[in-house]
Structure 1
Amino acid sequence: MNAVSLFANIGVAEAYLKDIGINVVVANEIVKRRADLYSKIYPETEMITGDINDEKIFDTIVKECKHLNVEVVIATPPCQGMSTAGQQKKDDERNELILPVINLIKKIKPKYIFLENVPNLLNTLIIYKSKKVLIRELLKMELSSDYHIEIDTIDTKDYSVPQTRERAIVLMSKKRESKIWTLPDKDSKIVTMEEAIGDLPIIDPFVRDVSEEELLEMFPLFYERKKKALSISKWNNPPHHIKRQVEVMMHTPTGRTAFDNDYYIPRKENGEPVRGYRNTYKRQNWDTPAYTVTMDNRKISSQNNVHPGRYIGKDNNGDEIYSDPRALTVYELMIISSLPKEWAIPPNTPEAFLRSIIGEGIPPLFVKKTFEKL
């Protein structure tokens, strides 16, 4: 079947769809930089760059969908206005991006619709025809006469994705279709960080505020390990951090936060202790799926970003030290986000840009499993 991808970003959601016979023939993305990268990854897709609320852009999308016989709508509107990781502004304009989606569905009358967003989507109110209405009720009000509507909240860790990521999923099926689209069954086994990235070699961070001599004093095997890591993937590059953050994470055990350390606690440049949340300066666990990847995944000081690490011995003071005192590499993020290891990302894509995109996207393995139900 042919599909349209709305709010497509760079195409994380559809990474596996072509493999199972879902051809995304039209896509729309408002940010040119993202749209351009999408076109490099999926050159066969007609990318329409611009704001879906712009009448000309909207009409172009409708025209192309009809011309290319689009039967499936995929819509992943921005969630910053609803996300617990964002500011959750009630009047955030992005909350109303469901309206052009509904309008498009009415225009092209697809057989199936896949909508996804943060769980708060189901409890978000928007103004529609001068009245406040819940988005979930609006969908039913406007589309239930023509579509069966399934609304669920899922966690991607239940679908072989080695990452905990809760999402609201709306599946719609045209009433005259014989198949009613439902979620796939949950998998019986949870994939852990150990199973996902446990076989990858140790990578030392690049410490950007020290000399090369000091770097090699801290990590004598830095260049040897970097070479080995990059032989696996270009995106397995050592993250860059500052010394005082690296030092505290070297002395922080797997699954723990540096705020629990006796001596090696997070400090500011002037030596004062940092005040922060206990999900920062925190290592992940080996025996669970990864925590939810956020857009700010390159920082030790942000949410649950640090590699689990392994005990490697004691320093000269007799304190325990642990490997990989760093954020996850882009390659590791791709694995725990279930992206293809050989995804066709142009090699000159800026790493910071790619990190933020991965932090926004829904794991494509879950999307694949859901579409396989069709």
Structure 2
Amino acid sequence: MTEQSIPMIDLFAGCGGMTSGFVAAEGYQPVMAVEWDLHAAATYAANFGEDHMRWADIATIPNDEVPPADLIIGGPPCQGFSALGAQDVHDPRNKLWQEYIRFVRHAAPKVFVIENVDRFLASGEFALLESEARPGGLLEEYVLTVALLLAADFGVPQRRKRAIVIGSRIGEIPVPAPTHARSGDLPRWHSVRDVLTGLPEHPTRTTLPLSRVEVFGTEVPGRFKSEDLHIGRNPTPLSLRRYRAVPPGGGRFDLPYELMPRCWQEKKTGTTDVMGRMRWDEPSLTIRTEFYKPEKGRYLHPQWEPGDDGHRVDRPITHLEAARLQTFDDTFEWCGTKIQVAKQIGNAVPPMLAKALAQHIKPYLTGVESTRSRCALCPE
């Protein structure tokens, strides 16, 4: 650790999307990361080192093993809050934010950052979190700033809304200002075209290489490089006919009646983005954990031209394309099966959004005026 580095703990670290952004902002040094999922922890270790990664249930880590740090980051599991889940207020995963608070109490950071789904801000758990920042609460030293950020506003080619809570005991830290916009004076939102152009339209593999690596004393699939993740599927002829019928921005309602499964034939309303196709010149919608299934969202490749002879790419996006839309660098390495890697990609905080937060927070932690680094996707 250098003399000027900011010691940082990443809780519920996943594969390391948030750490990736903070490390890219320079000046931050991870001193501990905690993740219970073996393959996500292995991916983190492959990119940032095994020495400080704790593959464990956060509740099993004793207080005396929590190191001091100037910053804690992380996103407690969101399934209990997510609109896609059962929204069970008694879901035990909702209580994991209390473990986050325990780490804050013992590491005594100057600043902490919590990331979660947008519905978190309307949850009872968030109300309890706010109450802990009042006089007499466990976080009474901290001033909270709450924001709902759109990832596209910070250089991510994806319309992904995330709740951000910044807690500070060194003075209030305001909401970061957008760096990009749909229109106006700021640089334009980045599009699907910006990150998918140049990749082969037709992947030659449907499986990951048969390689394994030892981590935490056990073997896991990996380490996979970016080119290993450009893998396709083997859709049925019926699926291909469905894909071909969907234009950019379209979805299941564009299918001819005879190509609809019975449940869609009988349901005339509802979600419009399933079996959807991306648009080249817009950000994607949220990349979730099953992006390789078009029936789960707008995940079809954007290339589509009208007419019987129009040039079309009739497949869902690959793992590599999803990772790029999440703004993972091609140098990032991955561990796990296809399904496990997809889960890591979809659950991650986009590194470019994390980097924007890191750049915004740094001057408050160091007392030095920030110099914003160039957006990796923007032209010189």
Using the size of structure 2 for normalisation, the TM-score is: 0.78
Structure 1 residue 152, shift from structure 2 partner: 0.8
Asked if 1:287 corresponds to 2:281, the answer is: yes
Number of residue pairs the alignment of both structures matches: 328
Structure 1 residue 360, shift from structure 2 partner: 0.9
Structure 1 residue 118, shift from structure 2 partner: 0.8
User: Percent identical across equivalent pairs?
Assistant: 23
Of 155, 175, 178, 1:160 maps to 155
Q: Is the 8 A contact 2:153 2:178 kept in 1?
A: yes
Q: Is the 8 A contact 2:250 2:273 kept in 1?
A: no
Asked if 1:360 corresponds to 2:357, the answer is: no
Question: Once the two structures are superposed, what CA deviation does each residue of 1:111-138 show, in whole Å capped at 9, x if it has no partner?
Answer: 1101110111111114xxxxxx824423
Which residue of structure 1 aligns with residue 130 of structure 2?
137
Q: Name the aligned partner's letter for residue 289 of structure 1.
A: P
Q: Secondary structure at the match of 1:323?
A: coil
Moved over 4 A (4+): 204-208, 271-276
Asked if 1:121 corresponds to 2:124, the answer is: no
Superposed counterparts of 1:213-224, under 5 Å: none
Structure 1 residue 195, shift from structure 2 partner: 2.3
Which residue of structure 1 aligns with residue 52 of structure 2?
46
**Against the structure 1 CA distance between its residues 65 and 42, is the aligned structure 2 distance closer, same or farther, given a 3 Å change threshold?**
same
Which residue of structure 1 aligns with residue 222 of structure 2?
none
Superposed counterparts of 1:304-319, under 5 Å: 304-311=298-305, 313-314=307-308
Q: Secondary structure at the match of 1:113?
A: strand
Q: Is the 8 A contact 1:266 1:274 kept in 2?
A: no
CA–CA separation in structure 1 for the residues paired with 2:149 and 2:177: 11
Which shows bigger deviation, 72-81 or 195-204? 195-204
Of 325, 334, 338, 1:351 maps to 338
Which residue of structure 2 aligns with residue 219 of structure 1?
none
Q: Name the aligned partner's letter for residue 304 of structure 1.
A: R
Structure 1 residue 304, shift from structure 2 partner: 1.4
Q: Is the 8 A contact 1:305 1:327 kept in 2?
A: yes
Structure 1 residue 158, shift from structure 2 partner: 0.5
Superposed counterparts of 1:262-301, under 5 Å: 262=256, 265-267=259-261, 277-301=271-295
Which segments of 5 or more consecutive residues in structure 1 lack a partner in the other structure? 127-132, 209-230, 316-320
Which residue of structure 2 aligns with residue 196 of structure 1?
195
**Against the structure 1 CA distance between its residues 301 and 79, is the aligned structure 2 distance closer, same or farther, given a 3 Å change threshold?**
same
Asked if 1:327 corresponds to 2:316, the answer is: yes
**Against the structure 1 CA distance between its residues 79 and 207, is the aligned structure 2 distance closer, same or farther, given a 3 Å change threshold?**
closer
CA–CA separation in structure 1 for the residues paired with 2:320 and 2:112: 31
Structure 1 residue 266, shift from structure 2 partner: 3.0
Of 178, 183, 204, 2:175 maps to 183
Tell me how large the CA RMSD over aligned residues is: 2.8
Question: Once the two structures are superposed, what CA deviation does each residue of 1:291-341 show, in whole Å capped at 9, x if it has no partner?
Answer: 0011111112111121112217515xxxxx552211111111111101111
Which segments of 5 or more consecutive residues in structure 2 lack a partner in the other structure? 1-5, 180-185, 208-224, 363-380
Which residue of structure 2 aligns with residue 129 of structure 1?
none
Question: Once the two structures are superposed, what CA deviation does each residue of 1:97-121 show, in whole Å capped at 9, x if it has no partner?
Answer: 1112112212221111011101111
Asked if 1:336 corresponds to 2:336, the answer is: no
Q: Name the aligned partner's letter for residue 238 of structure 1.
A: G
CA–CA separation in structure 2 for the residues paired with 1:203 and 1:354: 20
Q: Secondary structure at the match of 1:16?
A: helix
Which residue of structure 2 aligns with residue 36 of structure 1?
42
**Against the structure 1 CA distance between its residues 120 and 135, is the aligned structure 2 distance closer, same or farther, given a 3 Å change threshold?**
farther
Structure 1 residue 199, shift from structure 2 partner: 3.9
CA–CA separation in structure 2 for the residues paired with 1:43 and 1:79: 26
Q: Is the 8 A contact 1:3 1:26 kept in 2?
A: yes
CA–CA separation in structure 2 for the residues paired with 1:341 and 1:138: 42
Structure 1 residue 172, shift from structure 2 partner: 1.6
Asked if 1:82 corresponds to 2:81, the answer is: yes
Which shows bigger deviation, 191-200 or 245-254? 191-200
Which residue of structure 2 aligns with residue 63 of structure 1?
65
Q: Secondary structure at the match of 2:272?
A: coil
Structure 1 residue 371, shift from structure 2 partner: 0.7
CA–CA separation in structure 2 for the residues paired with 1:329 and 1:11: 20
Structure 1 residue 156, shift from structure 2 partner: 0.5
CA–CA separation in structure 2 for the residues paired with 1:184 and 1:109: 23
Using the size of structure 1 for normalisation, the TM-score is: 0.79
Q: Is the 8 A contact 2:203 2:230 kept in 1?
A: no
Q: Is the 8 A contact 1:27 1:45 kept in 2?
A: no
CA–CA separation in structure 1 for the residues paired with 2:40 and 2:242: 36
